[in-house]
Amino acid sequence: MRVAYQGESGAFSEAAVFEHFGPDVEAVPCLSFDDVFAAVEAGSVDSALVPIENSLAGTIHRNYDLLLQHTASVVGEHYLHVHHCLIGHPGVEITDIQKVISHPQALAQCEGYLRSLPGVKVEPVYDTAGSVKIVRDQGDRSVAAIASRRAASLYGMAVLDQNIEDLPNNITRFLAIARQPVYPTGDAKTTLVFSARNQPGSLFKALSVFALRDIDLTKIESRPLVGKTWEYLFYIDFAGSGVEQNVSRALSHLSEYAIMLRVFGSYPRHHYSEE
């Protein structure tokens, strides 16, 4: 089984692929999210895993846009705890480090930690896993990277310090996508997007289709449609599967209020463990 992800070997998305699909799948790196969706649609991979929201950085609108532009279905979800490590050459001490490189977002998430290392300079590079490769290839033992534990072992480098992120509970939620939908029974979730006119009460009416059937929402987010000042997109996740009669009734009821409605799919629910 081949599963596409955005990034390079050692990226957090790759770790999510192995956690979700098991250690035996072939993880296929892609340069961009566009490439990930194109690979799924072309059939060059069986599935893909894309980040859809992060507990600190919020929703990744780009991947909702790509879901709308493509016909792929959502077939699963996965929560990944993101832990950053300080990674350097084997045998190096933290006090030897004079410069730290990583993706700007990783540097930002470890800003307080980095400030606690006296005199250390930081320098942004394009990728977390890539920063480990740079440290290895340049051979300068005073330079360290910030990336995942797996990136360290992949490039034969040493973990100098771990869990160096300033805020705990840095969790990224991924969606698994594939060409064919799945029809889960039991503990499931459904992801959809709809648009409604910006009229008082129109969202309330739309949400009534779930409330009247005791269907529990797990995500709701409005997004103004720029260029259409009076229209909104709404992102909704709810507990339940399209195979259940009350869910299919709610969706058909929702279509009465929605200008546009796209159900991306129902899938088995992933309960992440509190660490």
The contact set with its own copies (CB under 8 A) reads: 32, 55-62, 103-104, 111, 124-126, 168-169, 171, 198-201, 203-204, 207-208, 210-211, 214-224, 226-227, 229, 274
Annotation marks residue 172 as catalytic? yes
Q: Decide whether 22 or 224 has the Cβ nearer to its own copies.
A: 224
Q: Is 174 a catalytic residue?
A: yes
- How far apart are the C-alpha atoms of 110 and 148, rounded to whole Å? 13
Residue among 57 and 260 whose Cβ is closer to its own copies: 57
* Options 12, 33, 37, 174, the catalytic residue: 174
Query: Beta strand pairing status for 99-102 and 143-147?
Result: parallel
Least distance between its own copies and beta carbon 38 (Å)? 15
Chain-centroid distance, C-alpha 124: 21
Question: Shortest gap between Cβ of 152 and its own copies (angstroms)?
Answer: 23
- Residue 6 carries which side chain, given as an amino acid letter? Q
Name the strands in the sheet holding 143-147, side by side, starting at the edge strand that comes first in the sequence.
Answer: 121-124, 99-102, 143-147, 85-88, 158-162
Question: CA–CA separation, 215 vs 247, rounded Å?
Answer: 8
Residue 81, strand partner residues: 171
The nearer residue to its own copies, 89 or 189, going by C-beta atoms, is 189
Locate 270 and state its tokens: 């992933």
> At closest approach, how far in Å is the CB of 219 from its own copies?
5
Q: Are 189 and 269 in contact (CB under 8 A)?
A: yes
Using DSSP bridges, classify how beta strands 121-124 and 58-59 pair: parallel, antiparallel or unpaired.
unpaired
Q: How far apart are CA 217 and CA 213, in angstroms?
A: 11
Nearer to its own copies, 101 or 178 (CB): 101
CB closer to its own copies out of 175 and 215: 215
Q: Closest Cα partner for 33 from 58, 68, 57? A: 68
Shortest distance (Å) from residue 109 CB to its own copies: 11
As a whole number of angstroms, the distance between CA 53 and CA 41 comes to: 22
Q: Kindly name the residue from 172, 191, 210, 238 that is annotated as catalytic.
A: 172
Beta bridge partner(s), residue 3: 27, 47
Give the nearest distance from C-beta 159 to its own copies in angstroms.
Answer: 24
Q: Which residues are catalytic?
A: 172, 174
